[in-house]
Structure 1
Amino acid sequence: MNTSEVLNIAVQALWVAAKLCAPILLTALVIGFAISLLQSITQVQEATLSFVPKAVGVALALLISGHWMITEIVTFTHDLFDKIPILLRG
């Protein structure tokens, strides 16, 4: 197992991690921006007004994209297990 193979696996792992966290982070970002815009327009500064919609949105994002996320990580894990004999040969 040489350096390029290790780097290739690391890049793939980072790419999978980025794909998996994207729906949740984008949902929180959009909801947070909308709530911040609403708070700045109405000048209502309440902490729970920001937290509760984000928590609900993230929960919905997990419900909607959870199956896809599990499929992605299982596929990545199966690919890694399939590569073990090739990587051990050197």
Structure 2
Amino acid sequence: MNSGEVIDVTRDAIVTFLKVGGPMLVVALLVGVAISLLQALTQIQEQTLVFVPKILALAAAALFAMPFMGDAMASYMTRIAERIAGG
């Protein structure tokens, strides 16, 4: 395996990682910002307030994005298996 193939595999892995993890990170970021804004506006300084809404939002996002994430991981594994079989 030469350096060009290693770079291609690494680039493909990073893109797949961003496809799989990106939606969850965006949901966590948006919920965190919304709760922080709510805390700033109402002057509620409870540190644990963000956990329950964030967990519920991430669970809903995971259920919604699971087919997409599974497809991205399966297609990545198929591409890697083809590279291994191809030599």
Provide TM-score, normalisation by structure 2. 0.94
Q: Counting helix residues as a fraction of each chain, which structure ranks higher? A: 1
Residues 13-44 of structure 1: per-residue CA shift (max 9 Å, x gap): 01100111111000000010000000001110
CA–CA distance in structure 2, aligned partners of residues 25 and 57 of structure 1: 11
Q: Which residue of 1 aligns with 2:80?
A: 80
Separation (CA, whole Å) in 1 of partners of 2:78 and 2:85: 13
2:44 matched to which residue of 1?
44
* Matched residue, 1:14: 14
In percent, how many aligned pairs have the same letter?
Answer: 37
Q: Distance in 2 between matches of 1:40 and 1:6?
A: 47
Q: How many residues align?
A: 87
Over residues 51-79 of structure 1, what are the superposed CA-to-partner deviations in whole Å (9 max), with x where a residue is unaligned?
11011101111000011101110111011
The CA RMSD measured in Å over matched residues stands at 0.9
**Which residue identity is paired with 1:36?**
S
The whole-number CA distance in structure 1 between the counterparts of 2:3 and 2:85 is 17
TM-score, normalised to structure 1, is: 0.91
Q: Which blocks of at least 5 consecutive residues in structure 2 are unaligned? A: none
